[in-house]
Amino acid sequence: MHIRKDDIVEVITGDDRGKRGRVLAVYPGKGKVLVEGINRVYKHMRPSRQNQQGGRLSKEMPVNVSNVQLICPQTNKPTRVGIRFLPDGSKERFSKKSGVSMGRVAPPRLAHARTE
């Protein structure tokens, strides 16, 4: 999965289309991400000893990762994400539009290092 926690993403389909938010959690097994302020639902709470009032609690629900796109830090627009190996053998994410790096993903490995 190319999206990580604390990335800024934009929703490309659904009711919240066009909204941006920060990724709070990533669920790779389910293929979903939890985005701040996106896909809000109401949970109805029954009055109890802890919550005397009861009422409706608004919270975010996970969104399918195919419905969000990462925001490029340079152009501030949605972009696809690629993975490439650096000369020292470490792996990094990069923006397909601008080619700018989005941070390292894996430490250096000798098997992927280029020796020229």
Name the nearest CA neighbour of 16 among 48, 57, 64.
Answer: 64
Residue pair 10/19 in contact (Cβ under 8 Å)? The answer is yes
Shared domain for 93 and 55, answered yes or no, is no
pLDDT at residue 33, rounded to an integer: 97
For residue 42, give the CATH number of its domain: 2.30.30.30
Range of the domain at 48: 1-71
Would you give the distance in Å from CA 19 to the centre of its chain? 13
Q: What is the pLDDT of residues 23-57, one digit of tens each?
A: 999 999 999 999 999 999 999 999 999 888 889 98
Q: What is the pLDDT of residues 57-85, one digit of tens each?
A: 899 999 999 999 999 989 999 999 999 99
The predicted model scores a pTM of 0.83
Q: What is the pLDDT of residues 83-112, one digit of tens each?
A: 999 999 899 999 999 999 998 988 888 888
Shared domain for 34 and 83, answered yes or no, is no
Residue pair 70/102 in contact (Cβ under 8 Å)? The answer is yes
Shared domain for 59 and 3, answered yes or no, is yes
Tell whether the model's pLDDT for residue 116 goes beyond 80.
no
Which residues are registered as beta bridge partners of 8?
22
Tell whether the model's pLDDT for residue 114 goes beyond 90.
no
Shared domain for 33 and 54, answered yes or no, is yes
